Structure 1
Amino acid sequence: MWRQLLEDGRSVCAEHCPHWPYRLLVPAAVGLGGALLCWKLHGRKIKSIELGEGWWGPGEKPPNYGEDTRVRPFVIDASEDDIEDLHRRLDATRFFSPLEDARFIYGFNSSHLQKVISYWRNRYDWKKQVKVLNKYPHFKTNIEGLDIHFIHVKPPHVTPGQKVYPLLMVHGWPGSFYEFYHILPLLTDPGNHGLNPEVAFEVVCPSIPGYGFSEASSKMGFSAFAAARIFYKLMLRLGFNEFYLQGGDWGSRITTLLSQMKPKSVKGLHLNFVIMPTRGLGRIKSLVIGRYMPWLVGLTREDVRLLYPYMEKNVFRIMRETGYLHIQATKPDTIGSSLNDSPAGLAAYILEKFSTWTDDSYRELEDGGLDRKYSLDDLLTNVMIYWITGSITTSMRFYKENFTRNYSSTPDTKIGVHVPTGIAAFPCELEHVPQVWAKQKFLNIVSYTYMPRGGHFAAFEEPELLARDIQNLVSKVEKM
């Protein structure tokens, strides 16, 4: 690389430097600068997290265990017994009266919940939605003692010479693989949906173990580190040695860790939710100065708009919206007992997040604004994935396993993220992380986009905006 820079310097000087001394000095300076740049980028060793190994199936790992590496087709079934049991439980729901003019300020408005339950019981067609779910190919494979569920979607047609990029997309809570159903056509067949036809993807969307159709761990300790390692093994099993990553919510944590585990395999990382460790006094200084002189601390006008007033837009909002987190990070099985038994309770618990996490102002609406961005069929299908699989408790345990006492001193906090990274900053996200803050952890930010609209469930809510931004990152990385 530095030799090429030296040659480029010589050619430039031959054209623009008439005096022979400069023809020697300038290319030498360019070559030296190039050598220093190469040393900075490649000479120092980029640390990575140890991949490790695990066994999460029941009991001890069998001696001389040989992992079943088969990738088995899987089809979701609409059982009559499941439907009858659901209807019986919905019919037995006990409702209560909301406070006058409470809207969604106290949580899911119980008057609107009655309307949702009525639709679910009398108009929602699970069999029809199962056909929608099965329109993409589903598979299962066993990794570290767990049956891992995923969908694998390839472009419907590839033109001669067209390159297709493998992309692993990971969901979060209380979402599922179904969050990606509206963005998948845009990524796998972009030309027919008004997007750049030259950047198409072969997409793998797994279910996090313990979520939906992926088997839950039988043992304590299954964290995002284990999920990242399992998903890396999944991509290898599918034949991908290099690939791109995309994630939001827990998907952001998992894909970031995977980038730190295997930076040579990850060509690029795209996030629509950034998890940053607290930086103490440095962050406070940035916030205090940034309110009045943002340019001194690297904040933009858009950052100022999204951050301030800070207490209202960040501290108070986080306090309002994270009560669930404390419960799930401490006693998930307790609340899980009730949610796993009551479909109405499960719907209220999950759908309330799709209201206020999409837009905080929806708390002021009687219906929580749920139909502003989503269809009720889509929302209930996501709930049904939790209900049919009985996975709400195991999904919530993921918080308990990840929010440990030493959360701020885990191995990933000791090293940065070196892979090319793209960040999509949606204005209604739970917390805004300016690029200048993100750079403290993500050391190679290639793209940072202020989105015009959208909240926490980006792929579900604004699939076209997210798809274009993923394409933008990949285009830039491929040209680097």
Structure 2
Amino acid sequence: MPSPAIPTRRSVLQGGLAAGVAVAATASGVLGSSPANAAAATPSSAADKIRPFRASIAGTRLTELRHRVGSTRWPSRELVADREQGVQLAASQALAKYWKTRYDWRRFEAKLNKLPQYTTEIDGVEIHFIHVRSPHKDALPLLATHGWPGSIVEFVDAAGPLTNPTAHGGKASDAFHLVVPSIPGYGFSGQPTERGWDATRVANAWVELMRRLGYPKWVAQGGDVGAVVTDTLGRLSPAGLAGIHMNLLVTALGGAPVPTVTAEEQAAKAALTAFQTTGSAYLTEQSFRPQTIGYALSDSPVALAAWMLDHDTDSYTKIARTFLGGSPSGNLTRDHVLDNISLYWLTNSGVSAARIYWESAHPQAAGGATPPAIKVPVGFSAFPGELFQAPRSWVESGYPTLSYYNKPARGGHFAAWEEPELFTAEVRAAFRALR
């Protein structure tokens, strides 16, 4: 099989994981294929077994977290009135105060443990995943992949509407069986001990996961890093994958030519250029020096929080303002934001999560092959608070098999997390014709 092209420094700066990673879908074959029936998914060894999982963080670690937050040595205040120099001191101090004095991890832990969770070893790494089966027998299996600096937290509040639509104003015919894995190196999944865990390897692992779960037909969804993995799944075209849906246009991030004729296209191009020039400092560091920033991410919870909030999008700006008394961006309240940051801290996954960017910039396979075309139907939702709101013309250019496109009225980079009901409506509409 042809090898992927090695991304240049410029291409990585343009698109991070998106730059060159979709091409990496040609680097390796699919780990198995979906079974013709559920019986075919019977684990073949002890390592293949699927084991129940419950989150349970020791109280001493929560005490240590509060102590570390309270012991932060603060930098001097930024010299500008906006976020031009990074996350502002006032926002970081307000976050720290709330984290130490009011935030309750046990609340989130109990909420998470209400969802069925499991682990299974795939390709040498323990994979943690949420698996909620719908009460409706004809539900369509949906694999949802989170992004960075997100996690499975993104989909927790969408689990109910997706799997039990009749309890959330929907129809039984719109139900999904939901599978939400933690990418290796993120959250409760194991941390890789060898290089090579790029988007292609993650996508291959997801194919194997769906095989083990006995799903002969399924669809996939993702945003941010999850969009790269989902794009890669589409290019791998494993047996059983019926369609994909994304809410970040990774082809444009990766430098693919896009039209800039209409006012809508020009506005999207301006937003994309602004991100590439002033909003991608984290991307550069994680693509080339993840270990260096990892010391701060592993040693200081406030450094971790600031690093995760340092992005130039409407959603991130509102998150910072939320800790100063502003209105949250949809569902992104102070508690929900700290659920995600705390998950990173308590699993010490700051640096291991960042390394997937390095993997994108340093693929092991060399070459200049053209990535295979996506043949399955593609759905796309252009949320207004995204890095850039991709016009339909851009999406059609990147995905000729586009079967669904919509511009929701609200929502941003963390669409499922910010607007779980609206996100659910988009996913239902995108896959309705594929059932």
What TM-score do you get using the length of structure 2 for normalisation?
0.84
1:109 to 69, 72, 88: 88
Shift of the alpha carbon at 1:210? 0.5
Q: How does 1:57-456 map to 2 (within 5 A)?
A: 68-99=47-78, 102-155=81-134, 157-158=135-136, 163-276=138-251, 283=258, 286-287=259-260, 290=261, 294=262, 304-305=263-264, 307-308=266-267, 310-311=269-270, 313-353=271-311, 356-358=313-315, 367=324, 371-373=328-330, 374-404=332-362, 413-456=370-413
Q: Report the Cα offset of residue 282 of structure 1.
A: 5.4
| 1:222/1:141 CA distance change after superposition, 3 Å | same
Measured in 1, the distance between the counterparts of 2:409 and 2:398 equals 25
Q: Which amino acid aligns with 1:238?
A: L
Aligned residue type for 1:356: T
Percent of pairs with identical residues? 33
The Cα of 1:351 is off from its aligned counterpart by 2.8
Residue type matched to 2:356 in 1? F
Distance 1:364 1:101, change over 3 A: farther
Which residue number in structure 2 is paired with residue 57 of structure 1? Answer: none
TM superposition shift of 1:357: 5.0
Residues 381-418 of structure 1, C-alpha deviations (whole Å, 9 max, x = no match): 1011110110110000000001237999665x432111
Q: Is the partner of 1:428 in helix, strand or coil? A: coil
Q: Provide the aligned C-alpha RMSD in A.
A: 2.9
CA contact (8 A) 1:167 1:245 kept: yes
8 A Cα contact 2:322 2:334, kept in partner: no
Larger Rg: 1
Q: Distance in 1 between matches of 2:197 and 2:123?
A: 11
Counterpart residue identity of residue 305, structure 1: E
In the TM superposition, what is the alpha-carbon distance from 1:209 to its structure 2 partner? 0.3
**Distance in 2, Cα, partners of 1:281 & 1:133:** 39
| Greater mean alpha carbon deviation, residues 184-193 or residues 359-368 | 359-368
Shift of 1:314: 2.4
**Whose relative contact order is higher, 1 or 2, with alpha carbons under 8 Å and at least 6 apart?**
2
Distance 1:435 1:408 in 2: 33
Assess if the C-alpha contact under 8 Å between 1:49 and 1:260 holds in 2.
Answer: no
Q: How many residues align?
A: 399
| 1:263-283 deviation line (CA, Å, top 9, x unaligned) | 431111011112116798954
Q: Which amino acid aligns with 2:339?
A: T
Q: Secondary structure at the match of 1:473?
A: helix
Deviation of residue 333 (structure 1)?
A: 0.4
User: Shift of residue 237 of structure 1?
Assistant: 0.3
Give the distance between the partners of 1:406 and 1:68, measured in 2 at CA: 26
Distance 2:129 2:319 in 1: 33
The 8 Å contact of residues 268 and 389 in structure 2, kept in 1 or not, is answered as no
Residues 1:86 and 1:430: Cα distance change in structure 2 (over 3 Å): same
